[in-house]
A = this chain, B = another copy of it.
Amino acid sequence: VLGILLYEVHHIKGRERMRYAAEHKVRTKAKMLTEATRAIRLHGPSGLRVEQVMSRAGLTHGGFYAHFPSREHLVAEAVAEALKQGAALFERVTHDRSPREALRAYINYYLSPEHLVAVEAGCPLPAMIGDLPRVTSEARERFGQGFARLHKRVETLMVAAGVEDASVGASSLIAELVGAVSLARALVGPEQTVEVLTRSRLAIYKRVGLEDA
């Protein structure tokens, strides 16, 4: 009885006491997630290493399980987080431009040599798609949600830009962008790489009705 009373007291007071610790924990978890999305972009979901994530977050690997029940749970959350960052990237590139210029800016950015190299900061899709079929279905569900959101954004932009069949167009655009960047990153020489990118840019420009820059 006394034990139960003490437990209750601790429990109730606990909420007050924990507030700071909880915030602290949330911050370090966020740091871990940040590093995890970085790892996924650089090495793909199956290339994410628990110890590497922890050490980059300034921690030792043993502490991992205070935040995530397993590596796979981290991967799932990191996939979701990466897609949010992809959407944020879309906003950053397109905001405060006219629809047509926004569309052009996104296409140009996506197919630029800078984006090819900026694996850590760029769109997370090309870095993940290859691995995703071999990943938890939870992670893939999250990916599906993120993909749907991105599709919606692009579609909305295309409607505003006066592109007809925007839903089809948005899906097709994302597919070609992802495919072209994936291919370009797989190739070695600058010639082949640049050709893949510029050819896709020309083809896309033509079908969405943008003039050559």
Contacts and interface: CB of A to CB of B under 8 A. Distances in A.
Interface of A: 43-44, 46-47, 125-134, 137, 140-141, 143-144, 147-148, 165, 167-169, 171-172, 174-180, 182-183, 185-189, 192, 195-196, 199-200, 202-204, 206-207
Contacts of A131: 44, 130-131
B143 A187 contact: yes
A204 B131 CA distance: 26
Given A131-B130, A207-B203, A207-B207, A175 B183 contact: yes
Given A44-B131, A130-B130, A199-B167, A183 B187 contact: no
A183 B172 contact: no
A147 B192 contact: yes
Contacts of A183: 125, 129, 147, 174-175, 178
B140 A172 contact: no
Contacts of A134: 43-44, 47
A156 to B, nearest CB: 16
B179 A175 contact: yes
Determine which residue in A44, A178, A192 has the highest number of CB atoms from chain B within 10 A of its CB, and name it: A178
Nearest to A129: B182
Nearest to A45: B130
Contacts of A179: 174-180, 182
Contacts of A195: 171
A22 to B, nearest CB: 33
A37 to B, nearest CB: 16
